[in-house]
């Protein structure tokens, strides 16, 4: 019998910082459909131990049905795991009646429309059959197609970059915009306001740690297709 009960009244789905959906379904395992723009999405799930003994709970992520352009990752306990990790390394200990509120599941569309299905399975380390799962079906349908016809953004060169790289853009009919860089966790690491409608930027990468980044142009709440930048300091 399952002892881990997801407190589904406590499942919230966010687009950026705006609440866009809330569920009060009373079920053990459930699927939630999320429609939103091509910006960072995140969902908070509360888990409660309804059993009579303590448990060490881990979480696994199944993103095999995610759009290949979308980046998925999660936080559990005090650790936020990179997209390459699909099973948490550190469990969260829960006494009988305890509620865990530390889980956050992220989906970064990287500016791309598409459909992604991501399932999170919470399980007891001592008995993996004692588990419960929650599936999020993300329908990212807005924010890219219209803008991609209006804005050109080049691949960075050189790429990988050591100290500097160049990026060209053309806003065309868009009135304004900003160039935004994200790390693999979807966090914004740099923003550049674009004052010219068309230009080539020479960007110092000295403020970036070595690693993989994505960048796109945001204009009027919409995002251009994302490009990849690799920073490799020598």
- Neighbour count for residue 55 (Cβ, 10 Å): 25
List the structure tokens of 25: 């379904």
What is the average per-residue pLDDT within 52-60? Answer: 90
Look at residue 208 in the predicted model and tell me its pLDDT: 93
10 Å CB burial of residue 169 (0-12, 13-18, 19+) is buried
- Banded model confidence at residue 188, pLDDT cuts 50, 70, 90: confident
For the cut 50, the answer to whether the pLDDT of residue 6 exceeds it is: no
Look at residue 179 in the predicted model and tell me its pLDDT: 92
For the cut 50, the answer to whether the pLDDT of residue 21 exceeds it is: no
DSSP state string for 66-104 = S-TT-EEEEEETTEEPPTT--B-SS-EEE-TT-EEEEEE
Instruction: For the chain, give the mean pLDDT.
Output: 77
For the cut 60, the answer to whether the pLDDT of residue 204 exceeds it is: yes
pLDDT in tens, 91-139: 999 888 888 888 888 888 877 777 888 888 888 898 888 888 888 877 7
Q: Which CATH superfamily is domain 145-231 in?
A: Macroglobulin (MG2) domain (2.60.40.1930)
Look at residue 29 in the predicted model and tell me its pLDDT: 42
Q: What is the pTM of this model?
A: 0.58
pLDDT in tens, 131-164: 888 888 777 765 444 455 567 889 899 999 999 9
DSSP state string for 3-41 = -EEE-GGGEEEEETTEEEEEE----SSEEEEEEEESS-E
Q: Scan for tokens 């924010």, then name that residue.
A: 143
Look at residue 149 in the predicted model and tell me its pLDDT: 56
Check whether domain 4-142 has CATH 3.20.20.70, yes or no? no
Distance CA 47, CA 32 (A): 16
The answer to whether domain 4-142 and domain 145-231 are alike in fold is yes
- Banded model confidence at residue 221, pLDDT cuts 50, 70, 90: low
- Banded model confidence at residue 34, pLDDT cuts 50, 70, 90: low
Look at residue 148 in the predicted model and tell me its pLDDT: 53
Look at residue 7 in the predicted model and tell me its pLDDT: 38
Q: Where are the alpha helices (DSSP H) in 80-198?
A: 145-148
What is the average per-residue pLDDT within 4-29? Answer: 35
Q: Tell me the CA end-to-end span of the chain in Å, nearest whole number.
A: 55
Distance CA 95, CA 52 (A): 8
Look at residue 145 in the predicted model and tell me its pLDDT: 46
For the cut 60, the answer to whether the pLDDT of residue 8 exceeds it is: no
In the chain, where are the structural domains located?
A: 4-142, 145-231
């Amino acid at each position: 019998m399952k002892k881990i009960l997801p407190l589904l009244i406590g499942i919230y789905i966010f687009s950026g910082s705006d609440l866009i959906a809330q569920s009060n379904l009373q079920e053990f395992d459930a699927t939630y459909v999320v429609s939103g723009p091509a910006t960072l999405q995140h969902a908070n799930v509360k888990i409660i131990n309804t059993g009579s003994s303590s448990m060490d709970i881990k979480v696994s992520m199944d993103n095999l049905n995610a759009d290949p352009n979308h980046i998925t990752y999660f936080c559990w306990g005090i650790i936020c795991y990179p997209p390459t990790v699909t099973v948490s390394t550190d469990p969260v200990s829960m006494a009988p009646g305890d509620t865990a509120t530390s889980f956050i599941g992220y989906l970064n569309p990287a500016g791309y429309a598409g459909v992604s299905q991501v399932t999170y399975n919470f399980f007891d380390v001592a008995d993996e059959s004692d588990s419960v799962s929650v599936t999020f079906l993300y329908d990212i349908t807005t924010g890219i197609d219209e803008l991609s016809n209006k804005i050109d953004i080049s691949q960075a060169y050189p790429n990988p970059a050591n100290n500097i790289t160049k990026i060209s853009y053309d806003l065309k009919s868009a009135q304004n915009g900003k160039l935004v860089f994200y790390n693999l966790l979807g966090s914004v690491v740099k923003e550049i306001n674009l004052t010219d409608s068309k230009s080539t930027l020479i960007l110092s990468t000295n403020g970036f740690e070595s690693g993989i980044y994505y960048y796109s142009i945001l204009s009027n709440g919409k995002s251009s297709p994302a490009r990849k930048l690799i920073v490799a300091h020598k």
